[in-house]
Amino acid sequence: MYEPDWDKVANANDPEIPGSLSNSFIVRGTGKWGGCQDVQSKLGEYGICRFTRWDPRPPFWSFLYDTHLTKHQVLAVLGPSKDRNQVTVE
């Protein structure tokens, strides 16, 4: 299982932050529903994934993601799934 290098992802596991969902992103990718579930399974520990939908139709999907992480940290948490599912974070 992929584990990000937390020395390079500063403050992603900071115990003072996790209760605060101060950042909201649109996460987009491909890979049909399995790709979306792969991405959400990695991000769910750090925030809330919601309003998943086809974008505009399969195999492309998107969802809203509320988290305490920065955009850079979100991409680091995804690791190889980012490239495999062609994920973008806006």
Segments making up each domain of the chain, as ranges: 23-89
Q: Does domain 23-89 have CATH number 3.30.70.100?
A: yes
pLDDT value of position 20: 80
pLDDT band at 17 (very low <50, low <70, confident <90, very high): very low
Quote the CA–CA distance of 42 and 40 in Å, as a whole number. 5
Q: Mean pLDDT throughout 44-52?
A: 94
- Assess whether pLDDT exceeds 90 at residue 11: no
Pairing of strands 88-89, 47-54: unpaired
pLDDT value of position 23: 95
Quote the CA–CA distance of 90 and 57 in Å, as a whole number. 19
pLDDT value of position 27: 98
Helix axes 71-78, 32-43, angle to 10 degrees: 120
